[in-house]
Amino acid sequence: MPPKREDSQLSQDSVMTVTPEDRQEILYFAYGSNMSTTQMRQRCPFSTPVGLGFLEGWKWIINERGYANVVKRSGLEVRAGTDERGVYGLLYLLPPQDEEKLDTCEGVPWAYEKVTCDARWVRDGQGRALDEPVKMMMYVDGKRVAKGLPRQEYVVRMERAIEDAVCNWGLDGEYAARVMRSLWK
């Protein structure tokens, strides 16, 4: 059964200004099982989901460890006019104490590394379309970039994450089926 909107951690009506001197929260781009706000609430209780993001020039894969990863695309791989030109994910405001917890959950530095990238904030927590450039942090496994098969426990977590992102945050269901679910169905 898909999660209901009331089950999803809603974004808060707030404005965030981040400067190097007073950095309190970072913008985190979740493209795998952390798109589940339930999972993120368990891992990072002070994080706040704020909308849907898009990372251009990257490709979503399941790597040989059996988990989601993103890899840079070569220019020849990009098909103009399709969602395959990048990766969609959920954006969270992540305070420092939750960032440390998430680093542990993500296996930094042996499994994933933290990378800061430019992305687009495409939909806010109220479902309004946006097109705002943002700097965000994500976790990338730069060592294991070959495609693999997902672990069964990870498929269960990804299904929950996809349902949450589609039902509550505006992720396109066809994109999820074509790019994500096609790797295990």
- Of residues 124, 89, 126, the one with CA closest to residue 5: 126
pLDDT at position 19, please? 40
Domains of the chain: 26-180 (3.10.490.10)
pLDDT at position 134, please? 94
pLDDT at position 13, please? 39
Predicted structure pTM score: 0.83
pLDDT at position 128, please? 85
Compute the distance between CA of residue 69 and CA of residue 60 in angstroms, rounded to an integer.
Answer: 6
Tell me the average pLDDT across 93-97. Answer: 96
36 appears as a binding residue in the annotation? no
- Within a 10 A sphere around the Cβ of 103, how many other Cβ atoms? 14
pLDDT in tens, 57-94: 999 999 999 999 999 987 655 555 454 789 999 999 99
Q: How far is CA 6 from the centre of its chain?
A: 20
111 appears as a binding residue in the annotation? no
46 appears as a binding residue in the annotation? no
Of 25, 99, 106, 163, which residue is the catalytic one?
A: 106
11 appears as a binding residue in the annotation? no
- Of residues 83, 121, 114, the one with CA closest to residue 99: 114
pLDDT higher than 70, residue 20: no
Compute the distance between CA of residue 135 and CA of residue 163 in angstroms, rounded to an integer.
Answer: 26
Q: Integer distance in angstroms from the first to the last C-alpha of the chain?
A: 18
pLDDT in tens, 31-42: 999 999 999 999
Compute the distance between CA of residue 51 and CA of residue 112 in angstroms, rounded to an integer.
Answer: 23
- Of residues 109, 111, 101, 124, the one with CA closest to residue 42: 101
Asked about 106 being catalytic, the answer comes back as: yes
